[in-house]
Structure 1
Amino acid sequence: MARFVVLVIDSFGVGAMDDVPRVRPQDLGANTCGHILEHLPTLRLPTLEKLGLMNALGATPGVMRPSPGASWGVAELMHEGGDTFMGHQEILGTLPRTPLRMPFSQVIDKVEAALRAEGRKTQRCGNGPYWLLVDDAVAIGDNLEADLGQVYNITGNLSEKSFDEVKAIGRIVRQQVEVGRVIAFGGRLASTQQLWDAAETRDGTYIGINAPRSGAYDDGFQVVHMGYGVDDSVQVPARLHAVGVPTVLVGKVADIVNNPHGESWQNLVDSQRIMEITLDALNRQQSVFICTNIQETDLAGHAEDVDRYADRLQLVDRYLARLMEAMRRDDCLVVMADHGNDPTIGHSRHTREKVPVLVWQQDLPPTELGVRTTLSDIGATVCDFFGAHRPENGHSFLPLLKTARNRHD
């Protein structure tokens, strides 16, 4: 009986992908981890240092150093751009497809008609393109933090509308559009005027609410991610269910990945609470796959707040040490990210970066995993670990770990 934990530190990339000059020039020079350490050179993350974070970074901009005993690699993004939703689908074994790109302005007529048919009040806002204000408390428009045109946001003032109502509006939108993701979220705002004040236009084509500026993340934040075209039957949770292994999803991953047969801790943002739930899930299960997302790092990246990002990393680092203490010899831990979000690069959107893959087992000798060409290699390794059928995408690196351990034993 063994347990496998994947901890995704959301947005904690270790350097721009090689294709960035061609596909995302705005991300040239991005390095979330490296630039945080450059700005805070005395920052020490002892657990992540032990796990090989600096090995994966390939540089030493601060006091931390490579770990000679680490098992580590880096993984490239197979999905286009740098997207949390598709990043997690990829981690759990989905083969990424080319996403639809369509400004909200191209579907506003259809969406508005559907909302009015359901008895919703709508108001077009802006000077063209337009965003929609629904029932005087909920804004609909382009997501300005992800790749433009791939995601629509439904941003609610939860002081005026319940989150259930915001989700109901989101479901109406989801039924009318084919972009990869619709995000329904909100927080308690002092006034809906905060949504108006945070409205922005990009490239003369995209318009939406700047989520960090709106204050939606600050008080009572709740969120649900509504995806399109993802086949969960070929992902890790379904593969593991077929062999009797339960899956526990904690944090944002529970909001965006379907886990009908497992345990999902949704609508959680606080990192300490998320790590406590993860530790508890490990301690009460004899055989389990746990995937946890730490979202507050990503929120700090969007806010371009280096100090807040570092604070959340320090908290996670402390809990990682506790998690490792609770793990048995046959258990396995992977610490990774899903993309970058460099708070120093000059924009508040995700950055297309490769990510660290840090692996730990008791008595595992140093092992280099190399450059993994897709995040799905983690999902494939999880399935291999439990003897389940491989997911749709990815190649297991479990044989590398077994070979290293057998040589050591």
Structure 2
Amino acid sequence: MNKVIVIVIDSFAVGAMDDVARVRPEDLGANTCGHILRRCPQLRLPVLEQLGLINALGEVVNIMRPAPRANTGCALLRHEGADSFMGHQEIMGTAPARPLCEPFSQILQPLAQALVARGHRVERLLPEGPGVLWVDGAVAVGDNLETDSGLVYNVTADLTRITFREVQAIGAVVRAVARVGRVIIFGGDGTSAAQIQAAAVQREGKYAGIDTPRSGVYRQGFQVVHAGYGVDPSCQVPACLARRQIPVSLVGKVADIVVNPGGENLGGIVDTGHIMDLTAGEIRRPGPRFICTNIQETDLAGHAQDVDWYADRLQVVDRHLGLLLGLLGRDDLLVVMADHGNDPTIGHARHTRERVPLLVWREGCHGVNLGTRQTLADVGATVCDAWQAPPPQSGTSFLPLLTIK
């Protein structure tokens, strides 16, 4: 295999999973793709149509039609909820562990003891009720207040007082103690310790953390890493391919949330056109290469509950996909998919738990039904299989189905 490209159109999913009535009832009836097409009856995405988007959707809802020669299927989310970070870990071959959902207050005391045991200075902000830890005069640790409560903790730092490497060391202690799905470790040098402390707030009587927009950390010099529960990068696609000396390029948000030591990491970019141009540049590089790209603006449009913005970004993606297909040859493989849903019509601004489309292009391979895959990790397993690399932790390759006729 020469190039394998995975394009993740963030949140562009095709219908609620069967378990939402039990685990996420607010997502009943969600269908990000279907509802956007219904709201935009004249929207045509010719390249995605050719790749089999309507096949994966399973119904005709506007002017777009199924593509009989397309290779298509769907994949279910194995991770809890509907999360970009865990979705991408799953795509990279992780078998998601089952995290706990608990307020930061549940681990505040044991975490403080663990930090003190490692020589850190620890104080408490918000002395009454749920609290926030203040570490080494520069770092706040508490609940993430911008996502579903009890699922994520934040480590928020003033990088004028402490290096990011030192913040990561504090974050590693938090990750070792915490059992929630994710710990986000970040900071900036355009804020101050006083401003971060002033942004400490309590919610619902049991959660406490830093109001991130108020903290000022985004203003300048922002750095971030994510630490997932039960995520072992040594068992993911980049590490598996490194053992076969296959280069890996991550473009867009995926570069910020997936570990890729020694590879090309083109992160910190949001503009869809720029991201797709960078992807084209990686495809043009000589020799074998795995390229994974995340299109984040679609997810931002979902959070904004803005159907028109979402449709506009899809049109940009579609135009660039046409250009990318023109760069591919007989030894290349393209997968277009999503990581979860974010239905802008559902009535809330959070992700939606939906199955995702699998649209696969391989020259000379037509009309393959990939079925319903039980995990996003099947994509990662397929990528490794393309170069006979060691398989990732989870997933079943569908490469044997993609025979050239």
**TM-score grouping bracket, smaller chain normalisation:** 0.7 to 0.9
Q: Deviations over 1:37-66 (max 9, x none)?
A: 233333222221221112111223333222
CA distance in 1, matches of 2:59, 2:215: 36
Indicate yes or no: 2:249 matched with 1:248.
Answer: yes
8 Å CA contact retained: 1:94, 1:234? yes
**Alpha-carbon distance change, 155 to 308 in structure 1, aligned in 2, over 3 angstroms:** farther
TM, length-normalised to structure 2: 0.85
**Alpha-carbon distance change, 134 to 284 in structure 1, aligned in 2, over 3 angstroms:** same
Indicate yes or no: 2:385 matched with 1:359.
Answer: no
Give the deviation of 1:314 after TM superposition: 2.1
**Alpha-carbon distance change, 48 to 257 in structure 1, aligned in 2, over 3 angstroms:** same
8 Å CA contact retained: 2:124, 2:133? yes
How many aligned residue pairs are there?
A: 403
**Alpha-carbon distance change, 120 to 49 in structure 1, aligned in 2, over 3 angstroms:** farther
Report the counterpart of residue 15 of structure 1 in structure 2: 15
In the alignment, structure 2 segments of 5+ residues that lack a partner are none
**Alpha-carbon distance change, 236 to 318 in structure 1, aligned in 2, over 3 angstroms:** same
Report the counterpart of residue 58 of structure 2 in structure 1: 58
CA distance in 2, matches of 1:137, 1:303: 32
**Alpha-carbon distance change, 119 to 236 in structure 1, aligned in 2, over 3 angstroms:** closer
Report the counterpart of residue 279 of structure 1 in structure 2: 280
Give the deviation of 1:282 after TM superposition: 1.0
Following superposition of structure 1 onto structure 2, how do residues 69-218 of structure 1 map, counting pairs within 5 Å? 69-111=69-111, 124-125=125-126, 128-131=129-132, 140-144=141-145, 146-154=147-155, 170-171=171-172, 173-174=174-175, 176-185=177-186, 201=203, 204-208=205-209
Indicate the percent of aligned positions where both proteins have the same amino acid: 59
Give the deviation of 1:392 after TM superposition: 2.0
Q: Deviations over 1:147-193 (max 9, x none)?
A: 53231134568899997787676456445534332113467989998
Following superposition of structure 1 onto structure 2, how do residues 311-330 of structure 1 map, counting pairs within 5 Å? 311-330=312-331
CA distance in 1, matches of 2:113, 2:120: 10
Of 61-70 and 86-95, more deviation after overlay is shown by 61-70
**Residue identity in the other structure for 2:401:** L
RMSD: 3.4
Give the deviation of 1:230 after TM superposition: 1.8
Report the counterpart of residue 339 of structure 1 in structure 2: 340
Give the deviation of 1:68 after TM superposition: 2.5
Give the deviation of 1:4 after TM superposition: 0.2
Give the deviation of 1:355 after TM superposition: 0.3
Report the counterpart of residue 380 of structure 2 in structure 1: 379
SS in 1 for 2:402: helix
TM, length-normalised to structure 1: 0.84
8 Å CA contact retained: 1:332, 1:361? yes
**Alpha-carbon distance change, 128 to 299 in structure 1, aligned in 2, over 3 angstroms:** farther
Give the deviation of 1:75 after TM superposition: 0.3
8 Å CA contact retained: 2:196, 2:210? no
CA distance in 2, matches of 1:218, 1:345: 32
Of 272-281 and 172-181, more deviation after overlay is shown by 172-181
CA distance in 2, matches of 1:29, 1:217: 35
